[in-house]
Amino acid sequence: MNDRDDTKPATKVVTAGRRKEWTAGIVNPPIWRASTILYDDVAQLRAAAGRDTHHRLFYGRRGTPTQWSLADALTELEPGAEGTFLYPSGVAAIAAALLAILSPGDELLLVDSAYDPTRGLATGLLKRFGITTRFYDPMIGAGIADLIGPTTRAIFMESPGSLTFEVQDIPAIVAVARAHGIATLLDNTWATPLFFPAIARGIDYTILACTKYVVGHSDAMLGSVTAGPGCFAALRDTSFHLGQHVAPDDAFLGSRGLRTMAVRLRQHQESALTIARWLDARPEVSAVHHPALPGCPGHEQFKRDFTGSSGLFSLALAAGSDDARTTFIDTLDLFGIGYSWGGYESLAIPIDPQRHRSVTTRDDAGLLVRLQIGLEDVGDLIADLDRAFAAWRVVTGA
Ligand SMILES: *Cc1c(COP(=O)(O)O)cnc(C)c1O
């Protein structure tokens, strides 16, 4: 349980997980590579097999101080959390958390704005194992009570939603879930514990695609689930059964990224807000979907519940064809074209969220572009976008 100190999150990202017994005094926890751990004799080997292996060398799959340090740091960042398990990707983390909770015959309530691979997991593997999924409107709030049936076992949230950034009323949904004894999961990749401390807000399992802001440099895949009180044992047992393990080199990259996450996020926030407001005033743009802007569904919840915003949002082009949108993106110089986000470099991709919805529709006029605002000079990024709008106007005749 994390109640060790009352330092601020920006301090914790620097200090957390760096226990002397794991670092031997070296500032960055070293990379311990291991499969076999050697014992002095058979008696010691047998004793180790019967014991709790938490934070004890046992066998490589159970980790070394390199992985424990990162997991411990993520636990410390979530006041009230019981423990954290690491995964080789964000999707692996989502899968383990859901499999830790759900059994055949159970029903999952999944937000309609969820990350597409989360939907794929629910409608694919989970369905095959006899788990049914009901999608719900991201703006449902306390109305989620009407969807709860006798087999409902878990509610999965992602806030803001992937691609369209609706902010959910998490406190209202948590209150309903608690009243019914239903587990809550949150994909908190966008806000991170720095902008939304999920466990303190009553979430049972909070998930990060650490690939994004924790790693922060687009050079490793990593995921985590941090469990609230009474929730860690189920997560750990399921993860052991699944054989989940993170390479120490990747865990090291996660730890190294974490140390600068607070300052990076501050810059992502500031630059993204500057650009979002600039875009909002452009005639070429019909909408900007950014939780900190008043037009975003759930903006009131954002102001109430979040302590900051990160660097990912989307915009709708006011007119034009898919070709015009492609020209806009292809003309950008400083924005790379590629999946993922959370690294230091800016990215742009075309998105079509209506393809990934089943109970809600998007009535955006115009075609959407998702931007990840990186750490480049914000004036340079705006100049790049300005050039791309000029090229877009030529194609659309605007
Ligand atoms: C990228 C992402 C994931 C998956 O993370 P990977 O590490 O790429 O598997 C999950 N949720 C959200 C919101 C994401 O953006």
203 forms beta bridges with none
Rounded distance between C-alpha atoms, residue 38 and residue 159, angstroms = 45
| Ligand 1 environment, Cβ below 6 A | 89-91, 115, 158, 162, 187, 189, 209, 211-212, 221, 223, 340
DSSP label at residue 273? H
DSSP label at residue 166? P
Which ligand 1 atom is at minimum distance from the Cα of 190?
Answer: 13
* Sign of the alpha-carbon torsion through 187, 370, 290, 363: negative
Domains of the chain by residue range: 9-258, 261-396
Q: How far is CA 194 from CA 133, 244, 365, in A?
A: 30, 26, 34
Give tens-digit pLDDT for 63-76.
999 999 999 999 99
DSSP label at residue 65? H
132 forms beta bridges with 107
pLDDT of residue 363: 67
In this predicted structure, which of 59-63, 234-238, 365-369 has the lowest mean pLDDT?
A: 365-369
Amino acid at site 180: H
- Interhelix angle 378-396/261-280, rounded to 10 degrees, is 40
**Average pLDDT over every residue of 242-249:** 98
Among this protein's residues, is 333 annotated catalytic? no
Task: Identify whether the C-beta of residue 86 lies closer than 8 Å to the C-beta of residue 224.
Answer: yes
Among this protein's residues, is 136 annotated catalytic? no
Assess whether pLDDT exceeds 80 at residue 3: no
Rounded distance between C-alpha atoms, residue 312 and residue 393, angstroms = 24
Q: How far is CA 4 from CA 76, 160, 390, in A?
A: 8, 30, 54
CATH class for the domain made up of 261-396: alpha beta
Q: What confidence tier does 354 reach under pLDDT thresholds 50, 70, 90?
A: confident
Closest CA to 84 of 189, 191, 167, 1: 1
Domain range 9-258, its CATH number among 3.40.50.300, 1.10.443.10, 3.40.50.1820, 3.40.640.10: 3.40.640.10
86 forms beta bridges with 224
Write phi, then psi, for 216 (nearest 5 degrees).
75, 0
How many Cβ atoms from other residues are within 10 Å of residue 30's Cβ?
16
Report the separation in Å between the CA atom of 176 and the middle of ligand 1, taken as the mean of its atom positions: 27
**Average pLDDT over every residue of 95-111:** 98
**Mean pLDDT over the full length of the chain:** 96
How many residues are there in the chain? 398
Among this protein's residues, is 212 annotated catalytic? yes
Closest CA to 244 of 18, 36, 23, 71: 71
Assess whether pLDDT exceeds 70 at residue 192: yes
Q: Report the b/e string of 63-90 with b at 16+ CB within 10 A.
A: bbbbbbbbbbbbbbbbbbbbbbbbbbbb
pLDDT of residue 50: 83
Assess whether pLDDT exceeds 80 at residue 98: yes
Give the residue, out of 212, 225, 312, with the most ligand 1 atoms within 8 A of its beta carbon, to mutate for a pocket test.
Answer: 212
Among this protein's residues, is 339 annotated catalytic? no
pLDDT of residue 319: 85
**Average pLDDT over every residue of 91-114:** 98
Task: Identify whether the C-beta of residue 355 lies closer than 8 Å to the C-beta of residue 368.
Answer: no
What spatial distance separates the first Cα and last Cα of the chain, rounded to whole Å?
A: 58
Give tens-digit pLDDT for 117-144.
999 999 999 999 999 999 999 999 999 9
Give tens-digit pLDDT for 363-396.
666 799 999 999 999 999 999 999 999 999 999 9
pLDDT of residue 2: 45
Catalytic residue among 72, 87, 106, 115: 115
Assess whether pLDDT exceeds 60 at residue 4: no
Assess whether pLDDT exceeds 50 at residue 1: no
